[in-house]
């Protein structure tokens, strides 16, 4: 299933311009951050919750970096 999802995602990206590919990935990173936060909210162990929250922060940092690349491509 995961291999199929990866193949589908790559096929979709292939249809897009590089700028649109990065924009889509940035949006995916933000969605990943939301998912990690939802996982964190469902965990009772404070240490695990903190780890999941850190994962959300990393996803959002990735999204911000990709946004900066997209902005440079528009210039």
d(Cα 73, Cα 30) in Å, to the nearest integer? 20
Q: Where is pLDDT greater, at 2 or 21?
A: 21
Q: Per DSSP, which regions of the chain are E strands?
A: none
Residue 2 located in a structural domain: no
Mean pLDDT of 11-15: 93
pLDDT at 65: 98
pLDDT at residue 75 is higher than 80: no
Mean pLDDT of 49-62: 98
Residue 50 located in a structural domain: yes
Q: Residue 27's domain spans which residues?
A: 17-74
pLDDT at 2: 74
Count of domains observed in the chain: 1
Give the N- to C-terminal CA distance of the chain in Å, as an integer: 39
Residue 52 located in a structural domain: yes
């Amino acid at each position: 299933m995961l291999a199929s999802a990866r193949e589908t995602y790559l096929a979709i990206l292939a249809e897009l311009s590089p700028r649109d590919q990065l924009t889509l990935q940035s949006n995916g990173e933000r969605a990943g951050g939301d998912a990690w936060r939802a996982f964190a909210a469902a965990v009772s162990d404070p240490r695990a919750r903190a780890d999941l929250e850190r994962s959300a922060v990393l996803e959002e940092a990735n999204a911000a970096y990709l946004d900066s690349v997209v902005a440079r491509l528009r210039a």
